[in-house]
Copies of this chain bind each other. A is one copy, B any other.
Amino acid sequence: MIKGFSAAAVAAGIRYEGRLDLGLIYSDTPAVAAGVFTTNRVKAAPVLLDMERLRHGRAQAILVNSGNANACTGDAGMQAALATSAMVADRLGIDADLVQVASTGVIGEPMSEEPFARAMDTLVGKLSSDGFDDLARAIMTTDTVPKTARTTIEVDGHEVNIFGVAKGAGMIMPDMATMLCFVLTDAQIVFPELRRMLVAGVEQSFNRITVDGDTSTNDSVLILANGAAGNPWIDEENRAAGELFAGALDTVLKDLALQIVADGEGATKLVTIRIVGARDFEGAMSAAQTIANSALVKTAFFGEDANWGRIIAALGRSDCPFSPDRVGIWFDEVQMVENGQGCGPEAEAAATRVLKKDRFTVTVDLYDGSESAEVYTCDFSLDYVKINADYRT
């Protein structure tokens, strides 16, 4: 239970009939709000509208649909975003500026307001503190499971709850991906701190995952903090409470990010790529991302093949400087490469056993410094191609 929040979802027939595709989150009172959005140059209409409205740092409702991304839809798309948010505001009796909108689905299809208009009364009427499971389902596209996470902490004697819901399975890559995430908390927290913690948390979670190296036009992470917990304000001076809250927020964000990778389109394995011993952090991140996005590395994971040659080849085309004759590579605890060369058939047999697991870590030590970076990826399976060759048909 996140005090003071309710949610609902309905099947509005936006793209398919009989499937939950329109959701609403509502806070009883205007909440402090912050957001992080796609870095793609092409931004969907709802992203542009949300960014504008969040300048005030306040929001009270989030209207979200699947089935249509409302991206590359021009002025008509922006009109649709404005009109549908006005419908919500009207029914709820709040200012339209307090309504955030989010869309996910196919890019470039005109966004009709009609399904929204027909469904709006039912949607608002269904708002309930039990509505979050439906909402988590309504935002799914190629996701196979709904994704939620929650945690409770005690801040200065007050129970504070954080709840997050997310969607995302393809077009996933550091810098956000086709993903939506809404975090709700009843904490009382000032806007600058909330925004700072969200940005830092996203950097360590959603910006560290990749499914296919593609980013999207619609990525959005929104957080609403309505203060219903009644805790003393978390602000710059209340450091202990701030750190406690930030840690809990990070946990929820990381939990959701890993759920997204594990549910990556066609994925059968969740793999952590960890670079250690790098000269600088940027190099470590480049190395981790290049390995995590290599089609050859990811298909080898799917084939349960400890093909470290592909890992070292990907490393070699990254922006990370290193000496090829120093590199060490481990699959979980099994060292497979030492000084840039293979450790032999026994190590390979042991590494192959690691690759049969659902989750494992590939560690690459560059022995060139003390910086490190981690990226979370999945394998690249036949089903990924099937899903993406058929998506619109």
Contacts and interface: CB of A to CB of B under 8 A. Distances in A.
A296 interface: yes
Interface residues of A, number: 64
A296 B170 contact: yes
A385 B388 contact: no
A183 to B, nearest CB: 24
Contacts of A69: 309
A237 interface: no
A80 to B, nearest CB: 13
Interface in A34-77: 39-43, 69, 71-74
A342 B109 CA distance: 7
Contact of A295 (B213, B217, B307): B213
A73 B321 CA distance: 20
A314 interface: yes
A300 interface: yes
A71 B302 contact: no
Interface stretch (A85-93, A222-230, A333-341): A333-341
A372 B39 CA distance: 24
A106 interface: yes
A381 interface: yes
Nearest to A76: B341
B41 A317 contact: yes
Contacts of A324: 41-43, 72
Stoichiometry (number of copies): 2
A176 to B, nearest CB: 10
A390 interface: yes
Contact of A381 (B293, B340, B385, B392): B385
A191 interface: no
A250 interface: no
A42 B313 contact: yes
Given A308-B108, A325-B74, A303 B384 contact: no
A385 B302 CA distance: 9
A15 interface: no
A388 B295 contact: yes
A107 interface: yes
A386 interface: yes
Nearest to A214: B296
A299 interface: yes
Interface in A204-225: 212-217
The 6 closest A-B pairs by CB, nearest first: A107-B309, A303-B389, A42-B316, A299-B388, A40-B316, A41-B316
Given A107-B308, A108-B308, A214-B317, 11 more contacts: A39-B317, A41-B315, A41-B316, A72-B324, A74-B339, A170-B296, A171-B296, A216-B313, A217-B309, A300-B389, A305-B391
24 contacts: A40-B316, A40-B317, A41-B316, A42-B312, A42-B313, A71-B313, A72-B309, A72-B312, A72-B340, A74-B339, A107-B309, A171-B296, A171-B313, A212-B296, A213-B213, A213-B293, A213-B294, A214-B313, A214-B317, A300-B391, A305-B393, A307-B392, A380-B385, A382-B382
Interface of A: 39-43, 69, 71-74, 106-110, 170-171, 175, 212-217, 293-296, 299-300, 302-303, 305, 307-310, 312-317, 321-322, 324-325, 337, 339-342, 380-382, 384-386, 388-393
